[in-house]
Structure 1
């Protein structure tokens, strides 16, 4: 199958790796927008879907390629759904202009100190555009439910994975292999929903 290049509207190396693993069977190569010299765009909206569409249009317009955008985050019930769309910037402050995963995790642990209700879910909204002006973006949403533990466990994954415990698996997301995570995660679930429609876009049935 010939390779099709898609620009990912993200510079997150973990996401690029996950998407390549998930899409390579379709002959799709996912390229980070940063490798194409495309700067990140603003994400000013309060919802995942609005931010994902904005990021996808930005990346497609500047690259001339089809674009895939993933706006995702963790929503903690005891915090009213926070960090939510602010997940990557949760620990943003005057001192932390570009907070690391460790910074964000440390703040989440602090916010939940003494809190017994620790249910949470990851959510992922995927948007695929064939072009910047695509009037029919493909949109898929996936969720992954679990609990926030009190201290990090595991060395794999990224983001809040070390704090996200999956009861049915008895492990945190950071203790899962890439294959295990992709089979059950919010991103894997959303992508499965997107794949059938994406296949039609990329390889329409012959007449």
Structure 2
């Protein structure tokens, strides 16, 4: 496992909420975090069928465009009643042609679950795969999984994406109702980042 000695990292996302989450998690380690939008990078086409494959596409495109170390993630919600959908298509379910509408995506998820006739609780997982790529193309992969259930109607205005309909196991609030600090302590992305930090970062940084 390679140690990370860079002082600057490009997080390959145009999602402002995700960028701020990553920045908060990495700030204690002395790493300057910049986003893809800040670097005026286009979003590459995600053609793989796995979270790891799509994260690697994003990491390599950003690394080759900037020469920086890159952290890319692909993440989504996998709903048991929908055989794991939307999964790698989580963001696609929110596409409108004029940007992403996650209220629409949450409604689509609810309608799809209802169409199956599956009884509650509707078990699901938030899954995140991170690819940390160095300027020479070497990469390491880290995964995080947060089990929970889909609830309806949406609750809370915090977070982003599908957070308002996802309630983690052992909690009575959705991710959309939690403070940033609480969410960052238990999210699938936070778990993957912690695994990356433990493997690649010096605690003394």
* TM-score with structure 2 setting the length: 0.90
Contact 2:6/2:69 (<8 A) preserved: no
Alignment of 1:97-112 (within 5 A): 97=97, 98-112=99-113
Equivalences, count: 196
Structure 1 residues 196, 30: CA separation in 2 closer, same or farther (over 3 Å shift)? Answer: same
Q: Match of 1:124?
A: 128
Contact 1:8/1:30 (<8 A) preserved: yes
Gaps of 5+ in 2: none
CA displacement at 1:54 relative to structure 2: 1.0
Runs of 4+ in 1 over 2 A off after TM superposition: none
CA displacement at 1:176 relative to structure 2: 0.9
Q: Point out which structure has higher relative CO (alpha carbons under 8 A, 6+ apart).
A: 2
CA–CA distance in 2 between the matches of 1:152 and 1:163? 5
CA displacement at 1:141 relative to structure 2: 0.2
Contact 2:94/2:102 (<8 A) preserved: no
CA displacement at 1:99 relative to structure 2: 3.1
Q: Match of 1:169?
A: 171
CA RMSD of aligned residues (A): 1.8
Contact 1:138/1:197 (<8 A) preserved: no
Deviations 1:6-64 (A, max 9, x none): 11111000110000000000011221111111101010111000111111010111111
* TM-score with structure 1 setting the length: 0.89
CA–CA distance in 2 between the matches of 1:153 and 1:34? 29
CA displacement at 1:116 relative to structure 2: 1.3
CA–CA distance in 1 between the matches of 2:190 and 2:7? 20
Determine if the alignment matches structure 1 residue 70 to structure 2 residue 73.
yes
Deviations 1:62-90 (A, max 9, x none): 11110000100000001010000110111
Contact 2:127/2:144 (<8 A) preserved: yes
